[in-house]
Structure 1
């Protein structure tokens, strides 16, 4: 999936279990399933097989794949298309897919006419996508490129957590690609405190101009952050972030530096943080309030950052 993972755990009932081969193998198997089904880095994954399927063909897909796709499409509907797992062709053309990437020699971003064509294709494919998820079937309308990268990492975190729960491990901190979930407590009895990722300064940003640090205690909670500072490129005077707005076909340009979402499920935190980032500070905050999401928005304001919290996030911090 192009990223790393880690698990920290405390098991007072079975000392030394954290280093056991069986437990490590069980954890690895959870992520191997995610890769085998949802990786856009692998042409042999179920996602890769669907993306190459003939137009009009119905593809039988695994249960976990259908669970993730079904949730992703729910977020698409609720966000008015600000997040869309069917926008893989746009993501790929902007150089943020697994091949022909923005950081490879010879890459040239698309011109507006090409973006318009890709956007029209995306809208046509989206309208003709047919899903029978209870029967685990999805029809390929022709050329549609699914991309679950904005939700699969979070789902991987959830799978690791469920596996540890099933093994009777009650105290752990799970991380996949920077998305986290915590349960129980550390050896000193303290909760799993995590520091929210700070926005990276592109040109040595003065520490005094950074937003205040924020710590969260993950008691059965997950946290995910989307930001425009992680992957981007410059072309001439323009700066292009890796998050693509499926409604316009263009990288976001709304001055949002990052959005963090705290949720019971990491898959949800992952997808919602992307959707809110695309929507921007005002519309994103309005959607977070309607959905009851605990969200933190960091918006660029000259040389500084302006922080906005949804009411569920503010209530969480007050507690």
Structure 2
């Protein structure tokens, strides 16, 4: 999660108080993916209606293709398709699946886009919330359906076969992709200065009218609004965080996080409270934050260092929290 660092003006002004240019800092907002989107951008006021429509159209397309919460989406149609059927994916869907499968292979399945049956079994999917853990039989049935290697996929033709019972869940990557779609679309419209946010993940370009940077503070799990794990400047950079404190349910003496380990079939049970990843593309930052959270403190940090990722881990140690950062993250933090 993020928060603003520093005050923000709402217009570019001349020293005498009147508008210096036809462009000013504006905020556009809307709803998507079960949350809210917000875009801060420098543009002429006359351009705002068209920009708002374009932003919403970018995000609506992602929902129409990849939302498991919509029965008529492309991903929902695939998930309920008969075994042996083959599906030609839209180009955007295929791009996200390509990235998801590449990360699944690179993390030996710690990240797995076929985790949908487990998402439903634990009550974090469209079927509905749970107040207790699933029984062993239900969990065993779900686990048998989870394995990215079951997918027969031809990326050149964008053709994906349904092996039977496969249930894709791209919620840990599609939101980041939606942010990339919006940011790339705005840049193509000549909007060079913007900060795009959907549900706490962000991508920034350029500067505010006063020349100051887009600076965001990384939330400290369980901390107050004044506490931050880090402050980062976003210019051609995205930030995404995965944490065990965001969505969960309590049953008995245990807290069950929405971040699931595809290997165990259960919510993560490690010392990681949150992982924040910086990357030029929010799609990759989003998915990598989840993957590193599942891998855990030791394996996750080792993976992040091997891949030279900019990552910040917040770890539970005794009754407190400690932070661990990769060299790439430290370098970015120094630029903030």
TM-score (norm 1): 0.91
Q: Which residue of 1 aligns with 2:111?
A: 83
Q: Which residue of 2 aligns with 1:162?
A: 184
Q: Which residue of 1 aligns with 2:138?
A: 114
Q: Which residue of 2 aligns with 1:259?
A: 275
Shift of 1:211: 6.8
Shift of 1:212: 4.9
Contact 1:182 1:219 in 2 (8 A): yes
Contact 2:219 2:227 in 1 (8 A): no
Q: Choose the corresponding residue for 1:9, options 33, 37, 41.
A: 41
Q: Which residue of 1 aligns with 2:217?
A: 195
Q: Which residue of 2 aligns with 1:318?
A: 334
| In 2: Cα distance, 1:253 partner to 1:259 partner | 14
Q: Choose the corresponding residue for 2:196, options 144, 155, 174.
A: 174
Larger helix fraction of residues: 1
| In 1: Cα distance, 2:293 partner to 2:152 partner | 27
Q: Choose the corresponding residue for 1:52, options 71, 74, 80.
A: 80
Compare 109-118 and 93-102 and name the one that shifted more: 109-118
- 1:115-130 mapped onto 2 (5 Å cutoff): 115-123=139-147, 126-130=148-152
| In 1: Cα distance, 2:295 partner to 2:160 partner | 28
* Aligned Cα root-mean-square deviation (Å): 1.7
Shift of 1:98: 1.5
SS in 2 for 1:307: strand
| In 2: Cα distance, 1:148 partner to 1:261 partner | 18
| In 1: Cα distance, 2:145 partner to 2:88 partner | 24
Shift of 1:121: 3.0
- 1:295-310 mapped onto 2 (5 Å cutoff): 295-310=311-326
Q: Choose the corresponding residue for 2:94, options 58, 62, 66.
A: 66
Q: Number of matched residues?
A: 303
| In 2: Cα distance, 1:179 partner to 1:260 partner | 10
| In 1: Cα distance, 2:88 partner to 2:264 partner | 31
SS in 1 for 2:35: coil
| In 2: Cα distance, 1:44 partner to 1:187 partner | 42
68 and 305 in structure 1: CA distance in 2 versus 1, 3 angstrom threshold: same
CA offsets, 1:265-318, max 9 Å, x none?
000000000000000111000000111110000001122111000111122223
Shift of 1:17: 4.2
Q: Which residue of 2 aligns with 1:236?
A: 252
Contact 1:211 1:307 in 2 (8 A): no
| In 2: Cα distance, 1:121 partner to 1:64 partner | 25
Q: Choose the corresponding residue for 1:145, options 147, 167, 183.
A: 167
Q: Which residue of 2 aligns with 1:38?
A: 66
Gaps of 5+ in 1: 202-206
Contact 2:121 2:138 in 1 (8 A): no
CA offsets, 1:98-139, max 9 Å, x none?
22213xxxx44212343233223324xx44310012111100
| In 2: Cα distance, 1:212 partner to 1:21 partner | 35
Compare 162-171 and 212-221 and name the one that shifted more: 212-221
Q: Which residue of 2 aligns with 1:204?
A: none
